[in-house]
Amino acid sequence: MKERILVVGSLNMDMSIYTDRIPRTGETLSGRSFIMSPGGKGANQAVAAARLGGFVSMAGCVGADTNGKALLKNLKDNNVYTDHIRQVQDKTTGVAVIIVDKDGDNSIILDAGANASMDIEYISHIEYVIRESDYILMQLEIPMPVIEYVCKIAKKHGKFVVLDPAPAVQLKDELMQNVDLIKPNETECSILTGIDVNSLQDAKKAADIFIQRGVDHVVISMGENGIFYFNGQSEIHIPALHVEAVDTTAAGDTFTGALVSRLATGKSMEDSLKFAVVASGLAVTRKGAQSSIPCLHNVEKYMRREL
Ligand code: RIB
């Protein structure tokens, strides 16, 4: 049986320019190409989870503008239930300006826009949705009091709470105690634990810190070095796919959405981690955020052939 996933998070319109390198301060560079496509860490993870087989609803805020309408349409087209997304009258929809270099690496600057209007009052209106869901998936692109509140009531209702701590900021112990699974990348790991992850031993030390702070499952994504999982007893290391990276935007979001969608269909942690590694590996071979997320068929086909 498929369990229900609720994503509470951000929605942005991404403006991505592809160029050879990131410009220096004061420099004007010509890009090679431009795309405008749906993004936002919350919406990316919602689309990834839905496209990869999950039963997904999203709560968040967009402006009452063209970008907001386009983002909502794209979520609906991807089978994400959008009735809990609020259109805020006097705010613009969140925007991300992204520069992608020749190696597919990116730099992102954000204007939160309507994402900043997410508040506790709104969440208390939709507490019943949290109660009716099984997995609650969050990131850090909406106000921190909202994140802390959602994690607290989700935990109170016995839900499985997943936090992708991006973009990273320090987190309170109480929040950590309400999180079941955390998925930082190396940079986020270093901000949150003070450990630079350069090896599996470093990853284990960092994971231990999260476990001591009250999290049950830790997944550290290490780029080309794959992922490391630890739950205080068992550890799993899965190497990354070897692919030609075109655009790494939303690779982490694809990973987290894929992981949760697979867990929500009752698969084991190890199977779900492998599935998520393949999904995010395939995502970096395509441009854009939501436009790069592969479908279930392609991920399963790759898994049958290569793993
Ligand atoms: O994680 C990638 C996302 O970060 C982009 O889609 C952009 O909108 C920012 O939220």
- How far is 228 from 58, CA to CA, in rounded Å? 28
Which of 7, 248, 253, 291 has most ligand 1 atoms within 8 Å of its beta carbon, as the pocket-test mutant?
253
**Per-residue confidence (pLDDT) for residue 307, from 0 to 100:** 58
- How far is 96 from 29, CA to CA, in rounded Å? 19
By 3-state DSSP, what share of the chain in percent is helix, strand and coil, each rounded to 5? Answer: 40, 25, 35
| Pair of tokens at residue 227 | 């992922």
Report which protein residue has its CA nearest ligand 1's atom 2. 250
Helices 269-283 and 251-263: angle between axes, nearest 10 degrees? 150
Tell me, using a 6 A CB cutoff, whether residue 180 lines ligand 1.
no
**Per-residue confidence (pLDDT) for residue 2, from 0 to 100:** 81
- Going from the C-alpha of 123 to that of each of 57, 70, 113, 127, 210, the distances in angstroms are 14, 24, 18, 6, 27
Tell me, using a 6 A CB cutoff, whether residue 112 lines ligand 1.
no
**pLDDT tens digit sequence for 38-81:** 999 999 999 999 999 999 999 999 999 999 999 999 999 999 99
- How far is 72 from 94, CA to CA, in rounded Å? 13
**pLDDT tens digit sequence for 102-122:** 999 999 999 999 999 999 999
Report the nearest atom of ligand 1 relative to the CA of 94: 8
Tell me the CA–centroid distance for residue 102 and ligand 1, in Å. 19
| Pair of tokens at residue 96 | 């991300």
Tell me, using a 6 A CB cutoff, whether residue 65 lines ligand 1.
no
**pLDDT tens digit sequence for 196-234:** 999 999 999 999 999 999 999 999 999 989 999 999 999
| Pair of tokens at residue 209 | 């810190």
Whether the model pTM is above 0.85: yes
**pLDDT tens digit sequence for 224-282:** 899 999 999 999 999 999 999 999 999 999 999 999 999 999 999 999 999 999 999 99
Tell me, using a 6 A CB cutoff, whether residue 256 lines ligand 1.
no
Whether 306 shows a pLDDT value over 80: the answer reads: no
CA 119 to chain centroid: 20
Sequence-ordered list of residues with C-beta below 8 angstroms from that of 279, at least 6 positions apart, any chain: 48, 52, 254, 255, 257, 258, 293, 294, 299
Contact of 253 with 45, CB cutoff 8 Å:
yes
Contact of 62 with 71, CB cutoff 8 Å:
yes
